[in-house]
Each structure stands twice: as C-alpha cells, then as structure tokens.
Structure 1
Amino acid sequence: MATTSLEQHAPVTGLRWWREVGWRHVIGIVMIAICVLPLLYVISASLNPNGTLTGSNKLFRTFSLTNYSELASTDFAKWGVNSLVICTVTALGTVFMGAAAAYAFSRFRFSGRRASLTALLLIQMFPQMLAFVAIFLLLLSVGTVFPALGLNSQLGLIAVYLGGALGVNTFLMYGFFNTVPRELDEAAKIDGASHAQIFFTIILRLVAPILAVVGLLSFVSAYGEFVVAKVVLQRVEHYTLAVGLYVWASDERNAPWGLFAAAAVLSAIPVVLLFQFLQRYIVGGLFAGSVKG
C-alpha cells in the first residue's frame, strides 16, 4: 500500500510528462504569443514618430510620445466621450431591460411564454448587420417625427443597440434567474413584499454575477461595433471611436498610422479596466445559469 501511494504522488518526468502535460504548455505558449505579439506591434507603432507601419517591423526601435501628444489636436477625445456615453447607457439599459424580462419569464406563467422565449432565441440567430438597411429606413422615417431618435442621433443608435441585445441577454439571464429558489419569493410575499420589492431588493442582489457579465458583454460589443454606427452617425462630431478610427484608416496609403495605433492603445484602456473590475463575476455569471433550466 505504501509503495502504491508513493507511485501515485511521484512526479511525472520524461516522455510521460510530454505526453500528459508538456503538450499543453506548448499550446499555451503558442496561444499567448499569438495574442501578445499583435499588441506589442501596435504599441511599438504608436511609439514610432514616423507615422508608418513599414518602419515598425523592428519592435520598439524608437520611443517617442509624439503620436499621443498629437491626439489632443484631433477629435479623438470627443469620439471617446461619445463611445463611453453610448456604451454605458447601452450596457445599463440592457441590464435593466434584460433583467426585468428574464424575471417575468422565470417567475410568471402566462399564455405564450414558451413561444416568446423560442422567438427571442430564433431572432438572435440572424446578425444585426443584416438589418442595417431596414434600420436606416426606419430611423429616417422616425427622424421626421422625432428628430432625437432619427439618423445622426446618439439616442437613436442606443435604441438600436438595446433592441438588438435584448433577446440574447434575456435568454442568458433567464437560465440564471431559474437557479434562484422560488421559496425566497414566497417568503417575501408572506412578509407583504410586492413583485417590484422582490425584484429590486432580493433577486437583483442574488443575480449580480450575471448582471455584471451582461453589462460587460453589452459594453464591449457596443464599444467595438462599426457597421450600424457608421450607418446611423453621419457627422464627424457624433462619431464613435470605431467609426472615427475607420475614417483615419480608410486611405491606406496616406493614413496616419502612428496616430491610429496610439488611439487604438488608448481606446483599449476602458475595456481592460472594466474587465478587471468585473473579473470576479465573469466565471460565475457565465456558468451558474447553465446547471438549471
């Protein structure tokens, strides 16, 4: 018995180590290199004052903050504010609307409930960009009555983002809401709590991980979305970062690649900070709702 125990705890070496563990390290190192090298290239290009990508083949050959200082004389700051406002409102609205809809589907029993859930899932199978022509015509028509919701309106773009993200996020939250015991609702009802009180004071606190995940996914998807934003926003001062940087890079030969790289590096900071802030909720929020339907 003692010999068997020692054999079980003996370190794995040689060919057996490569067969059981070593190949995983190799794959991990390769994937890290694939992810990190493009980032290093962009950072190196942002520090190259020549403003070209061909001169950045040698990483960090030059070090200059000229490109970053020149961003102050462009519309980059305005585009960044526009993106943060649009993405923050979209994320908050998506979380609130998705949570309310998921709570209704999870706790209430009404006619057409299963059909509505199935319809939400089927609708999300079609990418939103397939409907950008319809979105353009719809906003063009709405703008004649309510200019604040028409073309070249940030509020109109937010409305489009909210409508596109509601279905999939509702379905994602629905599975998580089902993991919350109904006994909590019944106990609160006995104490005289209304559905609104149960939802805001009890349920939302228990499902905080999935709220954080949905908020993060909504923020990131809206932050990097380009097609719909390019269709809706037509004035330079209303551009988001994705649209503004595309305009810079549209002329490949004369594009200010140094400014583009510097703007790309700075644009990534809000997403990284948000991810780090919500990191502890990510794993629990993505997987807890999959154990019970």
Structure 2
Amino acid sequence: MAAIDPTVASTTGGTGGTGDAGRPAGRVNDTRLRGRRWWKEVGWRHVVGVVVIVYCVLPLLYVLSAALNPNGSLTGSNDLFSTVSLSNFGELFGRGFGGWAVNSLVICVVTAIGTVLMGAAAAYAFSRYRFRGRRSTLTGLLLVQMFPQMLAAVAIFLLLLQLKDVFPVLGLNSIPGLIAVYLGGALGVNTFLLYGFFNTVPKELDEAARIDGASHAQVFWTIIMPLVTPILVVVGLLSFISTYGEFFIASTVLQSNSKFTLAIGLYQWASDERNAPWGLFAAGAVLAAIPVILLFLFLQKYIVGGLTSGSVKG
C-alpha cells in the first residue's frame, strides 16, 4: 500500500474525500481579502491615511525649508530645501527671540502650576463639602465660561490700568498681571474638569484617613492628589499650551518689547506684508514648537490615563 502524504492528510481531514468541515478534498479555507472587497473594507483607509499624512507633513516641511533658506522670502522657499543654511537660527537671538522665549516659558509654567493648584483646591471643596450656595456657584462658573475671555479685553485693560497706580507689579505691562488674568480666566473650566474626576475617588478614603488622625490638608496632599495625578497633568498641559500660543490678551496687557511673549514677538515680524523677515519667522516658529512637543512626549502616558480612565484601582 502506498504511503499517505501527511500534508495531504492534514488538508483533507484524513484519507477521505472531504475535510472536517465538509470541504472538498485538497482545498484550504482562505480568509484573505482580495480585489474589490479589500478596497471596500481596508484599502480606502490606507488612502485616507496617506492623504492626511501628506496634508499634515507638507506644511511642516515648507516651514522648515523657509527656516533654512537665508533669502528670507516665502517665494524663495517654493523649491523645498534648495538652499540649506542655519543663518536664520543664528540671527534669532540677536533680535530678541531669547527674551521672548524666556517670558513665554515663565508665564506658561507659572500659569500651569497655579491653574492646577487653584483648580484642584476648588474642585476638592466642591466634591467633598456640602455648603450653602454650592450648586449655584457651580452653575455660575459654567455660565461664565460660556463667554470667551477676549470679550473682557477692554475691561481687563481698564482694570489693570487703574490697578497699576495701586499695585504696579500687577498693573498694565507687567508679566505678573498677565499671569493673574490667565489664572482667573482658566479657573472655571478647569474646576469643572477636575470636579468630575475628584468625584470618582471614594469618600471612604477620606473618612479612613481622618479616623487615623489626618487633617484636611494631609488628606488633600497625601491621598487625593496622588490619585488624581493623570487629570492634573492634563489640566497643566492644556493650560501651558493655551497660554503659550495666546495672543489677544497678551498683546492687550504687554506693551514693551522686552516683555513680549513669543506669540507677540513673532507677530511683530510677520505683520509687515512687504518687508517681513519670513526666514526668521519660520525659524522662530520651529524653535517655538519644541517645548510643546517635548511636553507631549514626556507626559503622554499621563495624558492617556487622565482622559480615558478613572483614578482608583482595586
């Protein structure tokens, strides 16, 4: 008797004429998508992905090409990377870019830290305590946030102008004054964001800590704050980004070149349509994007946790 080929036996379900599922002998179940079905279910997604990548990457390449072009014009950058030079980057810091960058980082870091601390304290109070006017205050914060901060630009200008005579540090054309304006504008929306997250932390943890003799401050700093770290990081990052690129309020408050932020300083370069140093502007834009990119890379794991998950496990 002739030997049976094991490969044939495995595909036919033995020596019979049909397989285990009643398939004809010698046929294998092929589940791969082919032809029109592949394009209908999978192929179009690849096309959309490529189009989106090109749409996002091409402007970045154009800006980088303009930054490396010493000619200083956008039309001269139509041929991508036809000329490569670092002269624009070297000239930046002789035109005030370094001071603007320091001002922006100081404002954004202080605003982010202050926003997190103020929002966390307010959210903890609303989440854990029951007092008269609690619901109306929450509703008031929500209603106030319905109006953008730029609507109050005239009021902010007049307020800081009068405040300058009493507290010059917080008056017009002062960085602490701008930080105070940012902190006041961001308190409402961040309080609501943190309030919902604080409610996910069981109150039994607070009660157990108080039984052990912990004070309200100890409960807040040693128990609640570590558990809500993801949402704190998200709030801080959103605050940093929103103030880093904010222009309208900053241009209303700050008036001297030495106190400009990056947004105001770069706008001064690009405001002249005929003689704007587009090469310097593009180089400044490239360097200005580095802090935000680094923050996203460093805080990525916290961002995902703060936006998609709760704060307590087990």
Fold agreement, TM-score > 0.5: yes
Cα 1:22–1:122 change in 2 (3 A) is: farther
Task: Tell me what 1:56 maps to.
Answer: 77
Report the CA distance between 1:289 and its aligned residue. 6.0
- Candidates 117, 120, 131, aligned match of 1:110: 131
Task: Confirm whether residue 78 of structure 1 aligns to residue 99 of structure 2.
Answer: yes
Relative to the length of structure 1, the TM-score reads 0.94
Are 1:44 and 2:65 matched, yes or no?
Answer: yes
The amino acid that maps onto 1:158 is: I
Structure 1 residue 248 corresponds to structure 2 residue 269: yes
Tell me which of 54, 57, 81 is aligned to 1:33.
54
Aligned residues: 288
Q: What is aligned with 1:263?
A: 284
**Letter paired with 1:63:** V
Which residue among 90, 95, 119 is the counterpart of 1:98? 119
Distance (whole Å) between structure 1 residues aligned to residue 41 and residue 116 of structure 2: 43
Q: CA RMSD in A?
A: 1.8
Deviation at 1:20, TM superposition (A): 2.2
Question: In structure 1, what is the Cα distance between the partners aligned to 2:309 and 2:157?
Answer: 38
Change (3 A) 1:260 1:190: same
CA deviation digits over 1:25-74, x for unaligned, max 9?
Answer: 22222222222111111000000000000110111111100101111211
Q: How far apart, CA to CA, are the structure 2 residues paired with 1:83 and 1:3? A: 69
Superposition deviation, residue 281 in structure 1: 1.1
1:287 aligns with 2:304: no
1:197 aligns to what? Answer: 218
Matches within 5 A, 1:103-252: 103-252=124-273
* Amino acid in structure 2 at the alignment position of 1:217: L
Q: Following the alignment from structure 1 to structure 2, what is the Cα–Cα distance between the partners of residues 253 and 237?
A: 25
Q: Give deviations 1:170-216, integer Å, cap 9, x for gaps.
A: 10111111111111111111111111101100111000000000000
Q: Which has the larger radius of gyration?
A: 2
Alpha-carbon separation, structure 1, partners of 2:38 and 2:212: 60
Match of 2:166, SS state, is: coil
**1:128-149 superposed Cα distances (whole Å, 9 cap, x missing partner):** 1111011101111111110101
Moved more, 184-193 or 82-91: 184-193
> Cα deviations across residues 231-250 of structure 1 (Å, max 9, x unaligned)?
10000000000000011111
**Is residue 172–residue 289 contact of structure 1 (8 Å, CA) maintained in 2?**
no
Q: Deviations over 1:99-126 (max 9, x none)?
A: 1111111111111212211211121111
Q: CA deviation at 1:3?
A: 5.3
Q: Larger % of helix: which?
A: 1
- Secondary structure, aligned partner of 1:254: coil
Partner of 2:33: 12
8 Å CA contact 1:249, 1:260 repeated in 2:
yes
- Do 1:176 and 1:288's aligned partners in 2 also have CA atoms closer than 8 Å? no
Distance of aligned partners of 1:31 and 1:149 in 2 relative to their CA distance in 1, 3 Å threshold = same
Q: State the secondary structure of the residue aligned to 1:73.
A: coil
Amino acid at match of 1:279: Q
Alpha-carbon separation, structure 1, partners of 2:251 and 2:91: 25
SS at match of 1:197: helix
Higher relative contact order (CA 8 A, sep 6+): 1
The TM-score normalised by the length of structure 2 is 0.88
